[in-house]
Amino acid sequence: MAGTGLSGEAKRRAAGILWAAWQEGRHLEGLPEDCRPQTVAEGYQIQTFVAQLSGARPVGWKIAATSKAGQAHIGVDAPIAGRLLADRVKDDGATVPIGGCIMRVAELEFAFRIGESMTRRSEPFDQIDVMAAVASLHPAIELPDSRYADYARVGAPQLAADNACAHYCVIGPAAPGDWRKIDLAAHRTVATLNDRPAGEGSGANVLGDPRIALTWLANELRKRELRLMAGDIVITGTSLKPIPVASGDRVVGDFGALGKVSMAFADSIG
């Protein structure tokens, strides 16, 4: 299909295959050749159809692969955006199902809540533009996952189609109002797993600064004729090396002056 591009019908077929795998807990070797995206742009178009098939309300975005560790984990060399869906975004302290999850890692992330919708325009946004639209900063933890059995080998276009490995996340309380004075690049994050040290990182691991990552997303969406909307939550990518987790585990993310957040894992919920 390289050089010809996928038809709308092929993109919808790819989305149907991915959504069926989501629902059934199956893992794919890859999308069939006749509906496999060859570019990240095609992957994003399939991602849109997957979100529509889910029937869930979009509530924001995730950014995958904003750190070297995150890129190595999924086998890419640049960030990818995915959609956050309402039924997968949980409050601080939530227990989420890990049965069927093949990635089985937790990631500590800086999350932004958008207070004012970005305008549509042709020229790129700068960081000042983007941060002016932010209402609050939150500590967050993500449990990513993939519908591909060997997710590190399928490549960025197929990962984009699969919603950039979106799965579950928890969003902690808003950071104190003076968070804008903090150097987020230098800000340390500390993880504990079942009350034992599990890793440390910093905002510098998130494209150099979580605010840089958010600005990247605003411009990536602008190129796709989309935009950050008031109320959107954006998780900006892992600030430390992904932490292996299993059923029964509990991860706490300590963001110092920015607050704490926790997430627990069970084979199934309900």
pTM listed for this prediction:
0.95
Confidence grade of residue 269 (pLDDT, cut at 50, 70, 90): confident
More reliable by pLDDT, 228 or 25: 228
**What are the chain's domains?**
56-266 (3.90.850.10)
Q: Are strands 233-238 and 58-64 parallel, antiparallel or unpaired?
A: parallel
Quote the CA–CA distance of 229 and 114 in Å, as a whole number: 7
Tokens standing for 49?
A: 């159809």
Instruction: Give the count of alpha carbons within 13 A of 136, CB side only.
Output: 16
How confident is the model over 140-194, as pLDDT tens digits? 999 999 999 999 999 999 999 999 999 999 999 999 989 999 999 999 999 999 9
What are the strands of the beta sheet with 188-193, ordered from one edge?
A: 95-97, 260-266, 250-254, 188-193, 196-202
* Residue 1 confidence class, pLDDT cut points 50, 70, 90: very low
